[in-house]
Amino acid sequence: MDQLNPYNAELSGLSLIEASAGTGKTYTITGLYVRLVLEQGYGVENILVVTFTNAATAELRDRIRSRLVAVLQAFEAGGGDNDYCRELFARCADHDQAIRRLRYAVLGFDQAAIFTIHGFCQRVLTDSAFESGMPFESELLVEQGDLLQEIVDDFWRCNVQDVPTGLADYLLAQKVTPEKLLIAVQGGLGKPYLEIRGAVLPADFLIVEAEFHAAFKQARELWLEAEDAVREMLRADTSLNGNKYRKSSLENWFVALDGYLGSTPGPWFEQFAKFSTTALSGATKKGQTAPLHPFFDACEDLLEAHDSLDLAYQRALVALKQNLLAYCDQELRARKEQQHVQSYDDLLLNLNAALGAEHSVELARSIRNRYTAVLIDEFQDTDPTQYQIFSRIYGESDQPVFLVGDPKQAIYSFRGADIFAYHQAKTDARQSYTLDLNWRSDPRLIAAVNALFDQSHHSFFYDWITFHGAKSPAVARDELLDNGSPEAPLRVWFQGHDPKPMARVEAEQLATRATAAEISRLLQQGQDGETRIGDSNLSGGDIAVLVRSHRQGQMIGRQLRMLGIHSVQQSRENVFHSHEAVELERVLCAVAEPGRQSLVMAALATDMLAINGNAIDELMGDEQQLEQHLGFFQTQHQQWQEHGFMRMFRHLLAEGDIAKRLLSLVQGERRLTNLQHLGELLHQRDIDGQPGMDGLIKWLSRCRQTSGQGSEEAELRLESDENLVQIVTIHKSKGLQYPIVFCPFLWDGKLHSETAKSFSFHDDLHGLQPVLELGSETIEESRPQAVQEEFAEGIRLLYVALTRAQHRCYFVWGNLAGAGKSALAWLLHPAESVPQTAEAFKQLDNEMLQQRLDEVVQQSAGGILVEPLPGGDGMPILSMAAKQLADGVRHLTRGLNSTSRVTSFTALASGHSGELPDYDAQQPRPAAERTAHNIFGFPRGARAGCCLHAIFEQLDFAGCHRPGLEQLVHATLQAHGFAMEWMHVIADMVERVLATPLNAQGLCLQNIGQKQRLIELEFYYPLAPVDGAGLRAILLNHGFVAEGNPIRNAMERLDFMAVSGFMKGFIDLVFEVDGRFYLVDYKSNWLGDEVEAYAPECLTKVIAREDYYLQYLFYTLALHRYLGQRLPDYDYDQHFGGVFYFFLRGMNQARGADYGVYQNLPKKGLIEALDKYLIADG
């Protein structure tokens, strides 16, 4: 590939220009444009310039015009002082003619043919309606979502509502809705070049269903007939492997089996296979005979029938998706023709179809005559349809066509961009050029990136994407001066102190903290004048953090805020997927129906209006206040009805004081920006479609539920134009540059196509045919190709990320979970394929990883510095104003009492300041993960604890019924990010907890009504100065527990520094029965995979180890004081019933209070002594 000479490049035929990062792509395009005007005499209306976004079109238009003006001025001045202009002037034979051409171009520049690809197609179809065969009058449909949803709803009514009951139940269990079906196929719409691979509805579908029901009936009848015999046979059996058939596990399987073999099939459970003849035989000890029974044979048959039916259902769902895709393509085209409208995608499809039709020769000729030269920018983002359009127009001509792009930066496959279409163009090009002068980055940073990518293997995975090392032009540039740090511009933070790979979550946290800490150091030194770029002190706007996802960006933003550093987040995330969109929908629903109290209450609870739960509860008893709130929404309703959406929206923001309220929250500017952005989009929709209240809210709801990036208009906007640290997704950063760049997550090699149920790929066995795989029988055969393509794009993302920096770039690398599938692994430790690279990476130790980095450092000639990944959190940064203020204040010379503060059980027990509800975040994590699909296998940790707590907080104990319980569990699991496969497991657990007798009198939660309980009782009480020694002495003096009790041993080790101020906490549940009050704390701790692990002696050890005894004493004291203030005749012995700690995983009505329930009733004397010692007067 030749280096492009801007003065000699041939102005004829198809030319491909590969412009590496920072090499002046736009400058090259404007230079070629000027040559076409000067040398070929083309008018600006005859030079077609095409790019892919409105913003890029506007920038190109401005840059081309400026270049024309500059060259014209230079020619009028006899050559000027610019090298490019002087060279053009020297090469020009007729200066007068050149000046006339340039003047004509500048004066007529309003007629310049600079378009987006859609704008070009629309112009051609409009101006050549006769040749293209298109209607003379057709309206552009900006948003086709409503029409598409209408088509999907029609398909649902015709093809889904009348499916067999079993399939309907399956679709219901899979949460299939018209909206979700549309999301599943939307990526294939309007792409006629795609081969769709799916399935057809099985012809023997009804036969498979019948065989299943026959097998189920047989197994059920045998179970009902021989249940006791089967139970005893397996309980008493000694021939089976005890690890595979544990006695405790058997009991859980029997419960699940009862649930499944009901009058109709119940919840399926994976352990059903344990009852099959094959599984029993496979688990039999050597030399022994497996238990035999006709029931096991029936289970074998049922298992096979279930798997066959499940496979048939899966194929039926795939067939539905494939049929929907075909139906949508057909119906969309027909209905849009009927309504005389075209969408943006139709513009391309219709022009391409016209160019392939009978009169295409005339159409192509007319386009060539109008646009005698073509410059296409960002061509690496093309797709087969777009390339075919230009190939059909200019493929056989000798007219100049320049395709400018960089395959190394092709990162938009999620938008339909196709790197293989670029490959085809590269093959077709008459001449190919490269640009290799990097005008963006410092010379040593260029050398460092070259060293990383210039490998002996194919750095970008495909042999036709070649890496040409960039060069640095000999020009003066500002330098980064950092007095406190070495000068190497590419910094590798290496994690290599642990022989085992660091877990992904831990690595993310460490990388986040290190990034924030280094940014804090740089900015602090920038304020002090120690870190500068040229003559300017470094500021926040000089720094960018590049991330892959919005979630990673939020992590960085939170950590920066902890250090007092403000940031602004840029991404291609869709504003309709924001929290503000959820809240706005709730508020608009209340505005649309102000008479529905439930909608109004939901709206009041949003952050926009910020009425908390207690206030809402009080509202229900205060008719006057309630009427005021209802009246507020009635007013907004009238505003919307009489004056339109935007008038109402502005009135709502003003009257509800929403802007001020949001700005007071964390990330307030971001949230207000999102809300105002949503308001504008809704306003535009209201103007364009006039859908009315209900229609506009439905549109908002549909936009929220639609996956994908959406349009440019829906991308998150900048919330501030201040000079702040920028957090940017790599996709959003393309085309931009920043003085200092951090890339903390490049090591994460997660590949979504490894587990996706559908994906796109190119079939290399059939000429790289683009394929949409919806779930055909060959999906697993195709998956490696899809993984390979995603992996290759990850390498290109890495290149984009590392080439954004002008002066310095940081990234993290090392022995990290998931790093073996990252792009960095391919560059540094490649193997033959993606799986082989990942497998080979596992065999590398820290020394090997370090050694390979050292080799690259040597190649970079000092441009790369490898240093350990920092572990500190960084120091909070002071603003200049704060520093000046601090310098001017007097210094405190006496000591302050640091013991007075708000504390909690968590703070005293762990030494950390925790004041949130206790959700078992401190429970120890077992060494090995469990995978059993029962309550013992349910995930552990704080998130699981929050989820289970939330269920019990919302549950009506006495009114609990299975359908309502499953609905609650489903919603709560979804809200906390757990798979729906746990729904029945959790619902069963809740029913067991409610039914478990808590004492000999039969006390149980299912008899506790709503009015008998308090949920999440929050307390504060003044705390006198206390320390561990004093508290220990009181407990020992009152004989809290006997010697030998694990709690006694823990109590004797009790030690913490003196503290005073306030004690704060939350009691999960307080309930009253027969005049006695009990307190409850829910514990989701995993103690083992058997019920026996939750026996009393085991619970006592946990209570001691986790210092829960302190917790329930503090809670008892809080409730003691609470009751004393509210019951006029309060007496501890009469009214306090005791403490219950529910270890939820181990509770079972069959075992009663002996398992999973820890209970205690502290003596009155101890509580009174703690009252005197702990609680300060007042």
Annotated catalytic residue, options 346, 406, 418, 1081: 1081
Q: What is the pLDDT of residue 911?
A: 43
- State the Cα–Cα distance between residues 652 and 644, nearest whole angstrom: 12
- Alpha-carbon dihedral 881, 882, 887, 888, rounded to 10 degrees: 80
The two beta strands, 531-533 and 536-537, are antiparallel
- Which residues pair with residue 567 across a beta bridge? 725
| Structure token pair of residue 149 | 């949803």
- The three-class DSSP label of residue 573 is coil
pTM for the model: 0.70
Domains detected in the chain: 10-138+344-435 (3.40.50.300), 140-339 (1.10.3170), 482-572+721-767+776-868 (3.40.50.300), 575-661+672-707 (1.10.486.10), 901-1174 (3.90.320.10)
Taking only the tens place, the pLDDT of each residue in 319-355 is 999 999 999 999 999 999 888 888 888 999 999 999 9
Extract the tokens encoding 191: 């792409």
Q: Of how many residues is the chain composed?
A: 1178
Task: Give how far Cα 44 sits from Cα of 35, 253, 390, 449, Å.
Answer: 12, 78, 19, 39
Strands 725-729 and 543-547, by their bridges, are: parallel
Q: With left for phi above 0 and alpha for psi between -120 and 50, is residue 480 left, alpha or beta? A: beta
Instruction: In whole angstroms, give the CA distance from residue 70 to residue 67.
Output: 5
Q: What is the pLDDT of residue 694?
A: 84
What is residue 10's predicted lDDT score, i.e. its pLDDT? 92
Question: In angstroms, what CA-CA distances link 607 with 31, 587, 592?
Answer: 53, 10, 19
The whole-number pLDDT of residue 930 equals 44
Q: Which helix (H) or strand (E) holds 197?
A: strand 195-197
As a whole number of Å, the end-to-end CA separation of the chain is 84
Report CA 435 to chain centroid distance, whole Å.
Answer: 36
β-sheet bridge partners, residue 738: 805
- What is the spatial distance between Cα 1147 and Cα 993, in angstroms, rounded to a whole number? 6
Q: Give the type of residue at 954.
A: Q
- Residue type (1 letter), 580: E
Report CA torsion sign: 579, 580, 585, 589: positive
Alpha-carbon distance of 696 to 712, in angstroms, equals: 20
For the chain, state the CA radius of gyration. 35
Element (H, E) at 374: strand 373-376
Query: What residues of the chain score a pLDDT lower than 50?
Result: 880-881, 885, 911-917, 919, 921-930, 1178
Give the CA distances from residue 767 to residues 306, 381, 761, 778, 781, in Å, rounded to whole numbers and listed in that order. Answer: 39, 20, 12, 18, 17
Q: β-strand 490-495 against 864-868: which pairing, if any?
A: parallel
pLDDT at 571: 62
- Residue 432: how many CB atoms within 10 A of its CB? 17
The answer to whether 383 touches 417, Cβ cutoff 8 Å, is yes
Query: Using an 8 Å Cβ cutoff, are 434 and 468 in contact?
Result: yes
The per-residue pLDDT for 917 is: 45
Walk across the sheet containing 769-773 and list its strands.
Answer: 195-197, 769-773, 759-763
pLDDT score recorded for residue 132:
59
Give the sign of the dihedral formed by CA 62, CA 63, CA 64, CA 70.
positive
Look up residue 458 and give its DSSP letter. -
CB 308 within 8 A of CB 211: yes
1081 is catalytic: yes
- Output the furthest CA–CA distance in the chain (Å, rounded): 111
